[in-house]
Amino acid sequence: ELKVEQNPLFLSMQEGKNYTIYCNYSTTSDRLYWYRQDPGKSLESLFVLLSNGAVKQEGRLMASLDTKARLSTLHITAAVHDLSATYFCAVDLSFGNEKLTFGTGTRLTIIP
């Protein structure tokens, strides 16, 4: 059974600081997704990582994937209040059995 774990579960950080959210998964996969969820809302797609060593950046967020370590990171640079949200990683199983398994989520609060 695929397990996806994120840490930390809660993160409170000051504006302007940098931090990293970690996503570990238990089964071989080379497709990993990052999503953002605001309170009461559905998911917003942030990144799709499709191969080992993939790195993608959008604004103050950068995601990377190490399939050998079964680890993905979401790095936040110079955080701003607008980034406050819950962030989920999700892992896709192999072809023929595609379905997303979500991580536990990281609730990020940016303090002015």
Task: Using CB under 8 A, list all residues that contact other proteins.
Answer: 33, 35, 40-43, 45, 48, 88, 98-105, 107
Tokens representing 69 are 């370590």
Strands 106-111 and 10-14: parallel
Q: Residue 79 or 89: which CB sits closer to other proteins?
A: 89
Q: Residue 97 or 112: which CB sits closer to other proteins?
A: 97
Shortest Å distance, C-beta 35 to other proteins? 8
Shortest Å distance, C-beta 49 to other proteins? 12
Q: What are the residues whose beta carbons fall under 8 Å from the beta carbon of 30, sequence distance 6 or more?
A: 50, 51, 52, 65, 67
Q: Residue 41 or 81: which CB sits closer to other proteins?
A: 41
Residues 61, 4, 109, 83, Cα dihedral to 10° = 30
CB 32 within 8 A of CB 49: yes
Q: Residue 64 or 106: which CB sits closer to other proteins?
A: 106
CA distance linking residue 12 with residue 28, whole number of Å = 31
Shortest Å distance, C-beta 11 to other proteins? 14
